[in-house]
Structure 1
């Protein structure tokens, strides 16, 4: 028989330590499995936000598409802001305050961006109207 287990107190201590390690390990595993799921949620939110913001260095690319060094920094900053508890709109507002309205890939509809939103529609209507006028003139001249 092992001399360590001759004493009933040492045997009891051994079993208590074994149980503590088992339950402590199970608690640690449960906590460790919750962490990546929350990180994945933040990661999905950060990806969605980075698809809505324009890269300051790359031409016509979102932060998600860009490989510029500043894009990587901004994506990391978005992730850290989400981890700090900021919501999607708050993160976007933070980026707009820091880099200006130009960082939005699709700017908000307001008076300063009115021409960006209505201009293409007006040009399309003008072009279709011009085509209709030219077609009607061409039909009149052939008869």
Structure 2
């Protein structure tokens, strides 16, 4: 019985430590706002708007698009910058809201691996196919008595 009480008190001490640690992390995450200057807000807002795709316009970023949703999203970006949000937090928010398609350069994941590695694999495949084709032509020319130099 005494041992059970001792184990319970150790458990309560650990739970208290974990609770205090987690609240300190949460408090620091809430207070980690960035104080941007007006010029930094403008430059960073334009940079983010150039990096993100407009959900309504075909092949246009938010900066270049004249669609109403692009204006709304640009306003959201500047509002979040004024509130001290980081560039990555803003992009993460918009990706969560609109999906990975809002990025011009999607992040590397299992779903986007073909986008990242597909062109390289296709290039190697074409080079390999061309090498085999040339090799077969040389072999065919050699069997016909022709010399290839």
Taking structure 2 as the reference length, what is the TM-score of the superposition?
Answer: 0.66
What is the deviation of 1:136? 2.1
1:103 matched residue in structure 2: 102
Question: CA, structure 1 residues 134+63, in 2 after alignment: closer, same or farther (shift >3 Å)?
Answer: same
| Count of paired positions | 107
RMSD of aligned alpha carbons = 1.5
**Distance in 1 between the 2:134 and 2:82 partners?**
60
Cα deviations across residues 8-35 of structure 1 (Å, max 9, x unaligned)? xxxxxxxxxxxxxxxxxxxxxxxxxxxx
2:122 matched residue in structure 1: 123
What is the deviation of 1:109? 0.5
What is the deviation of 1:105? 1.1
Unpaired segments of 5 or more residues in structure 2? 1-35
Structure with more helix by fraction: 1
1:91 matched residue in structure 2: 90
2:74 matched residue in structure 1: 75
Taking structure 1 as the reference length, what is the TM-score of the superposition?
Answer: 0.69
Residues 93-102 or 63-72, more deviating: 63-72
After the TM superposition, which segments of 4 or more aligned residues of structure 1 sit over 6 Å from their partners?
A: none
**Distance in 2 between the 1:46 and 1:84 partners?**
13
Q: Where in structure 2 are the equivalents of 1:1-143 lying within 5 Å?
A: 38-142=37-141, 143=146
What is the deviation of 1:139? 2.7
